[in-house]
Amino acid sequence: MKIINSISELKATVKQARQADMTVGFVPTMGYLHEGHLSLMYTAKKENDFLVASIFVNPLQFGPSEDYAVYPRDLERDAKLAEQAGVDVLFAPPEAEMYPQGVQNMNTYVDLKGITDKLCGKQRPGHFRGVATVVTKLFNIVGPDYAYFGQKDAQQVLVLKKMVQELNMNVVIRVLPIVREVDGLAMSSRNVYLEGPQRQAALVLYNSLCQAQKLLQQGQRNAGLIRDTISQLISQQPLATIDYVEIVDLQNLQPVEVITDAVLIALAVKIGKVRLIDNLLWEE
């Protein structure tokens, strides 16, 4: 596996693969890899001849009071894991390579209306503009046929699918299921922040989604009632603070009252200072 830091070298390397008629898969990440990231890489490797993964903690998608400075980073460990997962090129650009003019001096953004001011976008203004802009830059740099994302970040998937469709980008978005720890906690780079009893307390996200699923399986279709059940379960956990609990239409992220179609049950919960998200996709 080659580790590349410069955009021009990355472009030249992918060009060679293309000249050899290879298909190119791409897995963008912010690093500190876990099995969730690796599942994207395994699948991407199976489905493409040449696999590029990126590790870039993107300052543009973090708010001023968020954890950009302390976001966990370990390139050496990540490189070993990526190589084992079959990555051919690991693209790890420094911030100055991606934003030579400085993030504060950007002129061009990719900004989606509507779906970005809901769920996580409400709490994190500018977050999805940062995501859409950096993913566009990465797509332009890598030029992949297929790009792989996790259902864990359900709103991100929706935003990127819309972006690719509306801007006619030449890439197919592939979405893979949430990978969980054995006890159900959705894997996340931020799980390393959970200390002592917080780790156990964090299970309340998954457990409340399981309870919601049970209600749906029993025929419950009143979204308000399901939402209240989830909120009550989370409120009973003293270390947990709800950011949001929402049941929304999968197409436009508008809240629904009666579940008649595919919905996303999405949660953001703080365990201490650690903000975790999880979700359940329910298709009728």
Catalytically annotated residues: 37
Q: Which two tokens stand for residue 116?
A: 């970005």
- Closest separation between CB of residue 184 and ligand AMP, Å? 11
Q: Which two tokens stand for residue 30?
A: 């912010």
- 20, 212, 270 from 244: Cα distances, Å: 48, 15, 10
Residue holding tokens 């990555």?
87
Comparison of 177 and 224: residue with beta carbon closer to ligand AMP: 177
Q: How many CB atoms lie within 10 A of CB 248?
A: 22
Stretch that binds ligand AMP, among 30-38, 94-102, 215-223, 250-258 (CB under 6 A): 30-38
| Residue number with CB closer to ligand AMP (99 or 148) | 148
Rule CB under 6 A: say whether 61 interacts with ligand AMP. Answer: no
- Shortest separation between residue 127's beta carbon and ligand AMP, angstroms: 12
Count other C-beta atoms under 10 Å from residue 142's C-beta. Answer: 23
Q: Are 264 and 250 in contact (CB under 8 A)?
A: yes
Taking the complex as a whole, how short is the minimal distance between the CB of residue 275 and ligand AMP, in angstroms? 12
Residues in 125-184 that interact with ligand AMP by CB under 6 A:
149-150, 152-153, 178-179
Residue closer to ligand AMP, measured from CB, 48 or 188 = 188
* Other C-beta atoms lying within 10 Å of the C-beta of residue 110: 18
Pairing of strands 2-4, 50-55: unpaired
Binding site for ligand AMP (CB under 6 A): 29-30, 36-37, 39-40, 149-150, 152-153, 178-179, 186-189
